[in-house]
């Protein structure tokens, strides 16, 4: 088995992410690696925000970040509170897969773990696939877990 010291688990708190929890738990327990839970708030990437006053955007960013941090804490408590290995968390505002890759570089992750939604057809074309982009552009191995 590869030697893992740091695992990056990128989550959107969806069922697909929950399906990947077992894999993240197992790998961290087997290897003793630190598990870093990471969430990117992407709702703010919409180009229409340029028409919204800056003070409104700042308030919105503060509120949505607070809610995401609460969601992260709940996700951590539900799945990782009794972990026998180090678990850290991070919530950031960003645009998606680039932020996941940057976080992997920043924390020197040996593996990225993410759940996938299994979108197909026009939905995949319109929505895109964060997991696919991470896989295509990552410098480190990526474990995807389908929901």
> With 0-12 CB in 10 A as exposed, 13-18 as middle and 19+ as buried, what is 9?
buried
pLDDT digits (tens, 9 = 90+) for 124-141: 544 458 888 999 999 999
DSSP letter string over 11-28?
Answer: --SSHHHHHHHHHHHHHH
Strand, coil or helix: 36: strand
Find how far residue 117's CA is from the centre of its chain: 13
Average pLDDT over residues 61-81: 94
With cut-offs at 50, 70 and 90, classify the pLDDT of residue 55.
confident
User: What percent of the chain is modeled with pLDDT above 90?
Assistant: 63
Strand, coil or helix: 128: coil
pLDDT at 119 over 80: no
Contact (Cβ atoms closer than 8 angstroms) between residue 93 and residue 65: yes
Nearest Cα residue to 84 out of 147, 35, 37:
35
In the chain the domains, ranked by start, together with CATH numbers, are: 6-146 (3.40.50.620)
Average pLDDT across the chain, whole number = 87
Token pair for 96: 């998606």
Q: Strand 34-41 and strand 6-10: pairing? A: parallel
Q: Strand 142-146 and strand 34-41: pairing? A: unpaired
């Amino acid at each position: 088995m590869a030697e893992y010291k740091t695992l990056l688990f990128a989550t959107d708190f969806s069922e697909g992410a929950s399906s990947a929890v077992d894999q993240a738990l197992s790998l961290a327990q087997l290897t003793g690696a630190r598990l870093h839970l990471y969430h990117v708030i992407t709702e703010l990437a919409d180009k229409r925000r340029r028409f919204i006053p800056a003070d409104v955007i700042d308030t919105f960013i503060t509120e949505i970040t607070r809610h995401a941090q609460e969601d992260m804490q709940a996700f951590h408590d539900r799945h990782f509170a009794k972990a026998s290995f180090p678990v850290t968390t991070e919530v950031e505002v960003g645009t998606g897969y680039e932020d996941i890759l940057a976080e992997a570089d920043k924390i020197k992750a040996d593996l990225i773990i993410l759940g996938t939604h299994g979108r197909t057809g026009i939905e995949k074309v319109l929505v895109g696939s964060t997991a696919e982009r991470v896989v295509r552009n990552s410098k480190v191995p990526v474990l995807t877990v389908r929901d």
